[in-house]
């Protein structure tokens, strides 16, 4: 059980970039549930850099607030991440950095397109992947440009 918690925390640390701004987070200042989740770091906690302690604590708090289904999904994502090649991980990190540099509107557009793609049935998604893989670089760029400029569906908020 402890290993699963640690896996979840590590995954959260990979995607976490926000820090608390509090540089004095000592081991003794953590509550019992935080210490339980972060037990692996107990011996070295007070010597960790403040930013790392903040990210770990944020991950532990996030983990504590997750449902069992969310924790299970987080563990599965982390296991998939562990099995990726170093090159694939580097590419994902690079693309995430590019995504984070985009405007909020552009990030929203990408999320909407991703959701739309995931709502398609499996066969249609595979058909689109195959078609994209068979395009020339110029055709791919034109397709991206068309997606960027297509009208947004009306939302019902």
28-60: per-residue pLDDT in tens?
999 998 999 999 999 999 899 999 999 999 999
Predicted confidence at residue 20, as pLDDT, reads 43
The answer to the question of residue 142 being in a domain is no
The answer to the question of residue 35 being in a domain is yes
11 compared with 71, residue with greater pLDDT? 71
pLDDT confidence band for 148 (50 / 70 / 90): confident
pTM of the predicted model, to two decimals?
0.56
Structural domain containing residue 54: 2-80
Concatenated DSSP letters of the chain: -HHHHHHHHHHHHHH-----------GGGS-HHHHHHTGGGTTTGGGS-HHHHHHHHHHHHHHHTS-HHHHHHHHHHHHHHHTS-HHHHHHHHHHHHHHHHS-HHHHHHHHHHHHHHHHS-HHHHHHHHHHHHTS-HHHHHHHHHHHHHSPPPPP--
The answer to the question of residue 33 being in a domain is yes
* Spatial distance between the Cα atoms of 34 and 52, rounded to a whole number of angstroms: 15
pLDDT of residue 152 exceeding 70: no
Whether the CA torsion 148, 149, 154, 157 is positive or negative: it is: positive
Predicted confidence at residue 146, as pLDDT, reads 84
* Spatial distance between the Cα atoms of 39 and 32, rounded to a whole number of angstroms: 10
97 to 21, 74, 110: CA distances (angstroms): 22, 21, 14
The answer to the question of residue 28 being in a domain is yes
Predicted confidence at residue 154, as pLDDT, reads 60
**Total domains in the fold of the chain:** 1
Chain mean pLDDT for the chain = 85
The answer to the question of residue 132 being in a domain is no
104-135: per-residue pLDDT in tens?
999 999 999 899 999 999 999 999 999 999 99
13-27: per-residue pLDDT in tens?
554 444 444 457 899
Predicted confidence at residue 14, as pLDDT, reads 52
The answer to the question of residue 59 being in a domain is yes
The answer to the question of residue 150 being in a domain is no
The answer to the question of residue 50 being in a domain is yes
Q: What share of the chain has pLDDT > 90, as a percent?
A: 67
């Amino acid at each position: 059980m402890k290993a699963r918690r640690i896996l979840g925390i590590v995954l959260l640390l990979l995607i976490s970039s926000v820090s608390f701004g509090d540089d004095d987070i000592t081991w003794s200042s953590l509550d019992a549930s935080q210490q339980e989740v972060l037990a692996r770091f107990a011996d070295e906690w007070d010597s960790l850099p403040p930013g790392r302690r903040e990210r770990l604590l944020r991950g532990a708090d996030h983990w504590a607030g997750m449902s069992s289904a969310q924790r299970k999904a987080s563990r599965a994502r982390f296991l998939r991440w562990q099995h990726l090649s170093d090159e694939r991980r580097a590419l994902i990190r690079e693309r995430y950095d590019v995504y984070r540099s985009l405007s909020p509107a552009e990030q929203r557009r990408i999320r909407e397109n991703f959701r739309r793609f995931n709502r398609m049935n499996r066969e249609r998604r595979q058909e689109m992947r195959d078609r994209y893989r068979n395009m020339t670089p110029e055709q791919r760029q034109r397709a991206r440009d068309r997606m960027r400029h297509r009208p947004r569906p009306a939302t019902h908020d």
